[in-house]
Amino acid sequence: MSSSFPRRFGKYLLLRPLAKGGMGEIYMAALGQIDGFEKLCVIKKVLSERGDPSKAKRFLDEAKVVLRLSHSALVNTFDAGEVDGEFYIAMEMVEGKDLREVWNRCVRMRHRIPIEVALHVAREVARVLAYVHGYGNLRLVHRDIAPPNIMLGYNGDVKLTDFGLARSELKEEKTQPGVVFGRAAYLAPEQARGEVADARTDVYTLAIVLWELLTGQQYLPISGLDPGAGLALVRHPKPMPPSSRAPWIAPELDKVVLRALAPDRQQRTQSAEEFRLALSDVIAQVAPRTDPARVVELMQAIFEDVIDKERAERDHFLKEVIPIFRESVPEPAPREMTPPLPLESLAAAEGRVVSQSNGHNSAPAQARRRPTMGGQAEEEKDEEDNGARLPGVTPVPDTAERRRARREAAMRVLAELAAEDAGDTPSPQQGSK
């Protein structure tokens, strides 16, 4: 595939790459075929050179999960498919940055993350986790709540993304016992021990994110440790109240965070909804100004130049790059599809009987009238019906009853063909489950 941009990718136009990781690539893309009706989005696809069956299956598992979910605090996924052997999912494009970029920008600018922003982010993520954990009977667990997977929009939105490590009843790629998935610094103790994750696992990792936002420091400083020592620290953490690093944190908030950080799941906050309600109570006491407007203030303060630059880039793509590309590169011709078998041919088995003894054919020639060059009409025989032209074969008058019989016969043949393609069909006694 060409490396130049923009380029076609199925029904999308890939505009530029955004990121590349171990499993796939992410692109800014456009959807729409009429000038002025394009919608910018994000395409995530499996790397073709690394698309082994295991990774492809995990990618498809993610698509199965996210296509079922719909929530204001989730990055919306609206399409999934395959183009030239490459699997992809299409997601909404959030105008903003992930929490890791926000953190790094604040460090460079020596700008502290306001407590209202920290609390609002945690409460919104807890709100969407309560939805995810309780969705249907999927028993869905995200398993990777970390700053790179939490988006902050310039408009104040907080959105959770990336279900590549999620566990649910839909997934075909089952995690092997003892296998550890996730980022080491944001693992719950049970994850680090290779145990099965549940909703309380997501609560714990969200509490780590909140602790770090409140204090401006890493909760588990394992970056300088060897893997064995780091994993031991994750498996047996010693919880510390946020106020040990940020003295201005109120005791009420300390209590909520420490309960969510309990190493023992039985002692931990038992659900995301319980965590959300506890945060709401604390917010009412210590940070009543907590709302999306505080997120907007922070994002505009630290990304003012970036916001204008990105807006100009989007306008450039929509007003110049995409229209010029579509004018210079015509749309590819639609692929030819194998035409369906004519109903007359399908009906031949039951609706047309040629007998040498009596000379009758139950499917007579169909006559239709077409205008000639001189403006007059002439009869044109159906070329597929050669029986009327065979010597010794007398056409039988076509009637409504015979036409209905042919249609019914054709439908029976089609139903039999469909049953053969689909395999065994349930009996009426079985019904649908």
Contact residues for 259 (Cβ-Cβ < 8 A; gap 6+) = 267, 268, 269, 278
3 state SS of 77:
strand
> Beta strand 360-361 with 158-160: parallel, antiparallel or unpaired?
unpaired
Kind and range of the H or E element at 26? strand 24-31
Among 225, 253, 322, which residue's Cα sits nearest to residue 16?
322
Helix 292-302 / helix 304-316 crossing angle, nearest 10 deg: 90
Among 199, 193, 170, 169, which residue's Cα sits nearest to residue 181?
193
Half-sphere exposure for 238 (CA within 13 Å, toward CB): 2
| Residues facing residue 74 across a β-bridge | 160
**Amino acid of residue 298:** L
Kind and range of the H or E element at 46? strand 39-46
Per-residue tokens: 384: 């597929």
| Residues facing residue 41 across a β-bridge | 29, 92
120 φ/ψ angles, rounded to the nearest 5 degrees: -65, -45
Kind and range of the H or E element at 400? helix 400-422
CB 14, CB 5: distance < 8 Å: yes
| Burial group, residue 12, by CB count within 10 angstroms (0-12, 13-18, 19+) | buried
Q: Is it true that the peptide bond before 428 is cis, omega within 30 degrees of 0?
A: no
Among 120, 147, 148, 145, which residue's Cα sits nearest to residue 296?
120
Dmax (CA) of the chain: 106
- List the catalytic residues: 144
| Cα dist from 143 to 162, 179, 205, 344, whole Å | 10, 13, 8, 57
